[in-house]
Amino acid sequence: MTRPVAGARVHVVGAGLAGLSAAVTLAGRGVPVVLSDAARQAGGRCRSYHDGVLDMEIDNGNHLVLSGNQAVGRYLSAIGAEDRVVGPARAEFPFFDVATGQSWTLRPNDGPIPWWALVAGRRVPGTRLGDYLAVATLMRRHAGRRIDEVLPCRGLLWEKFLRPVLVSALNTAPEEGSADLAGAVMRETFAKGGSSIRPRVAMPSLTGAFVEPALQRLRQSGADIRLGRRLGALTLENGRVSALSFADGEEPVGPEEKVILAVPPWTAQELLPDLTVPDAFCAIVNAHFKIAPPAGAPLLVGLVGGTAEWVFAFPDRLSVTVSAADRLVDMDTQELTALLWRDVAAVHRLDGPPPPCRIVKEKRATFAATPAQDARRPACPTRWANLFLAGDWTDTGLPATIEGALRSGEKAAALVR
């Protein structure tokens, strides 16, 4: 049932999570939305597809969110998909050291007072209470500084907890990463206690959780969704956008209409050559193995001393994620499959050769989360009165995460209003 809407249209260009967030927020307020994307499917880098080699639906990448991600919660509630992210009832993070075979589980308590660090069985083996002062140090503001200028970047806590967590959050070698961005992540998650850091993954798929319900909600709201429609140019005159030139024709932008540009940074710069955007990027490599996980396998296991950082157990496959993976993107597929299978086999004590596998490489997965690149992130408003930016690469105060992407869409929608 389509409900009537009134007022000036908003053109949202880009149907990744930032664009979907903006469109859903606006449509929920009765604003007419035109959502366009160059691809024939929505979701951007957060999508799923049927893989012919594995003959199953897989995600483009393994995306982890946390129970305390507030923008994620608002978005899933708005599209009626709260039940499509799943995870353990408590904040428990199993880890496995590939080199030694040692296993342990990090168990933060639910409240903001971190008494768990006092209990040897809840913290990283071999660490002492004083080691965790590094986390408190990181939570302070450190404008323009690298993590290795704030922390020593060595020791058991660094190697067995902070490094794997930070490389995943930043998708950048953490020693080179922005201390401000890392601190923002820690303040919004670990500083709030275990109730805010329960891990959650999309089930059965990213598209099923984050994309299809959003498109359905937009259609119910009367939004005009146009996929497979590439934006080639903006007509900029008199301090505003007056037209959008798509491959299928020109779309006039009325005097009261607004435009939200939720495209990748390189596309935004092509459309707006004077715009400063991040220009250095880091890769992510994922591997999906067609094998059912062992009975009782945890949803995810953190790796120390392996190639990957996390092993995910889905009902029909085991998957791994390697962040800051530029060193792997040109590796031979067979060699890379064997390398990553060794991590999976070690964690779950599996024998034999690798099962059927699909390697997924994103060469420009996120901007490099260094202080220099963080300084290049533009604000949401532009010098064009009716043009706004959204995307995890804009100045969200967070690294390039699902939470940041959704938050940028919300902000663009708020400023449009």
Which tens digit of pLDDT belongs to each residue from 274-318?
999 999 999 999 999 999 999 999 999 999 999 999 999 999 999
Domain segments of the chain as ranges: 10-53+205-279+370-416, 93-196, 281-367
366: number of CA atoms within 13 Å, CB side? 29
**Residue of 133, 143, 202, 134 lying closest to 166 (CA atoms):** 134
pLDDT of residue 2: 38
Average pLDDT value for residue range 175-198: 96
For 110-228, strand residue ranges (E) read 199-202, 224-227
Cβ(140)–Cβ(133) under 8 Å? no
What sections of 54-203 are H helices per DSSP? 70-78, 133-138, 156-157, 163-170, 179-188
pLDDT at 88 over 50: yes
For the domain bounded by 281-367, which CATH number is listed?
Answer: 3.90.660.20
The Cα 22–Cα 19 span in angstroms is 5
Cβ(180)–Cβ(145) under 8 Å? yes
pLDDT of residue 4: 39
**Residue of 296, 328, 288, 336 lying closest to 312 (CA atoms):** 288
The CATH H-level superfamily of 10-53+205-279+370-416 is FAD/NAD(P)-binding domain (3.50.50.60)
Average pLDDT value for residue range 108-133: 94
Angle made by CA atoms 341, 342, 347, in degrees to the nearest 5? 100
Cβ(340)–Cβ(358) under 8 Å? no
Name the band, by pLDDT with cuts 50, 70 and 90, for residue 6: low
pLDDT at 186 over 70: yes
The Cα 57–Cα 29 span in angstroms is 34
The residue count of the chain comes to: 417
Name the band, by pLDDT with cuts 50, 70 and 90, for residue 417: confident
Pairing of strands 224-227, 33-37: parallel
pLDDT of residue 113: 93
The Cα 196–Cα 207 span in angstroms is 24
Note if the bond before 152 is cis, omega within 30 degrees.
no
* Mean per-residue pLDDT of the chain: 96
Average pLDDT value for residue range 51-74: 95
The Cα 307–Cα 263 span in angstroms is 31
Q: Are 10-53+205-279+370-416 and 281-367 in the same CATH fold?
A: no
The Cα 392–Cα 403 span in angstroms is 8
3-state DSSP helix/strand/coil % of the chain, to nearest 5: 30, 25, 40
Handedness of CA 152, 153, 159, 165 (dihedral sign): positive
Q: What three-state secondary structure class fits 263? A: coil
What sections of 99-246 are H helices per DSSP? 133-138, 156-157, 163-170, 179-188, 206, 212-220
The Cα 249–Cα 244 span in angstroms is 9
